[in-house]
A and B are shown apart, each in its own frame.
Chain A
């Protein structure tokens, strides 16, 4: 079963140290949340560990905004 939006936002919020309600679909992971390569690795590991769905490198490369991450789980 796909995780709900709030669960995904909670993981992103915790990693970026940003309140959940400040995260919008158009929020950019790198430019707005400062998620550089090491943090991106941590985000991907925590998403995979939390929800048990593997994210390929190609899918990870397409995740530029919070909305892209949510879309991945909506389709999963």
Chain B
């Protein structure tokens, strides 16, 4: 099981990862979370001993990375898969800086090996995992089956998450990555868990996959609605 970064990422890659990390730390310190639905569910993750599968669309990772760091800093054990591309290398370095356990692989290359590593992280190491189900190459907002398969085989529930920001940059990547601008107001939803039965048929697994996709799209819309018209002070600091 490959559980480490490329042992010798180039200086350019390391610099890009450091620049991204510095930008994340700087920007996230200015964000104001104005609404947070499912906050109790989110904060209970630390106390819960059962691993979960956190799931968000690929283009929402920037802000969530700062939330994940707050969790891992408090002892929340989390693993993630990062693709074998150069962008994936940057993601892997960042993931480790944020306190996560990084496994390398993708849906297209060494997919089984990557999924097995995540399976072992849940079952043997008792880590929760983060899965971006339209990654690593899209199409955007179309969930692949990996999160559902892992939920079926491990018994861990899938927790869909999304957020919106009132002002942000859109990166010209396949997923049109969202980077909230400084002092952006942010709304977050951590949705109810999706449990996948171990004995599910192929058709039932497809139904769970569709359920996850719908949930992520629904809460994405919901966070935008929550944000519109919300004026005021940020809620207490999100831990």
A-to-B contact residues, CB < 8 Å:
17, 36-42, 44-45, 57, 60-61
Q: Which of B1, B113, B148 has the most CB of A within 10 A?
A: B113
Are A42 and B153 touching (Cβ within 8 A)?
yes
Are B119 and A37 touching (Cβ within 8 A)?
no
Are A38 and B145 touching (Cβ within 8 A)?
yes
Are B112 and A17 touching (Cβ within 8 A)?
no
Q: How many residues of B contact A (CB 8 A)?
A: 18
Are A57 and B119 touching (Cβ within 8 A)?
no
Are B112 and A41 touching (Cβ within 8 A)?
yes
Query: Which residues in window 112-171 of B have CB below 8 A to A?
Result: 112-116, 119, 145-146, 148-150, 152-153
Are B1 and A41 touching (Cβ within 8 A)?
no
Q: Closest Cβ of chain A: how far from B178's Cβ, in Å?
A: 27
The chain B residue with its CB closest to the CB of A36 is B111
Q: How far is the CA of A57 from the CA of B148 in the complex (A)?
A: 21
CB contacts (< 8 Å) of A45 on chain B: these are 119, 153
Are B112 and A60 touching (Cβ within 8 A)?
yes
CB contacts (< 8 Å) of B83 on chain A: these are none
Q: How far is the CA of A38 from the CA of B81 in the complex (A)?
A: 14
Q: How far is the CA of A36 from the CA of B144 in the complex (A)?
A: 12
- Besides A36-B111, A37-B146, A60-B113, 16 other A-B contacts (C-beta < 8 A): A37-B107, A37-B111, A37-B112, A38-B115, A38-B145, A38-B146, A38-B149, A41-B149, A42-B149, A44-B112, A45-B119, A45-B153, A57-B1, A57-B116, A60-B112, A61-B112
B202 at the interface (CB under 8 A from A): yes
CB contacts (< 8 Å) of B112 on chain A: these are 37, 40-41, 44, 60-61
**A interface, by DSSP: helix, strand, loop or mixed?**
helix
Query: Beyond A17-B202, A42-B149, A42-B153, is A61–B119 a contact (Cβ under 8 Å)?
Result: no
CB contacts (< 8 Å) of A37 on chain B: these are 107, 111-112, 114-115, 146
Q: Which of A41, A57, A60, A61 has the most CB of B within 10 A?
A: A41
Are A44 and B149 touching (Cβ within 8 A)?
no
Q: How far is the CA of A61 from the CA of B112 in the complex (A)?
A: 9
Query: Beyond A37-B146, A38-B146, is A60–B116 a contact (Cβ under 8 Å)?
Result: yes
Q: How far is the CA of A60 from the CA of B114 in the complex (A)?
A: 12
CB contacts (< 8 Å) of B202 on chain A: these are 17
Q: How far is the CA of A61 from the CA of B113 in the complex (A)?
A: 8
Q: Closest Cβ of chain A: how far from B30's Cβ, in Å?
A: 39
The chain A residue with its CB closest to the CB of B148 is A38
15 examples of A-B residue contacts, CB within 8 angstroms: A37-B112, A37-B146, A38-B115, A38-B145, A38-B148, A40-B112, A41-B115, A41-B116, A42-B153, A44-B116, A45-B119, A57-B2, A57-B116, A60-B113, A61-B113
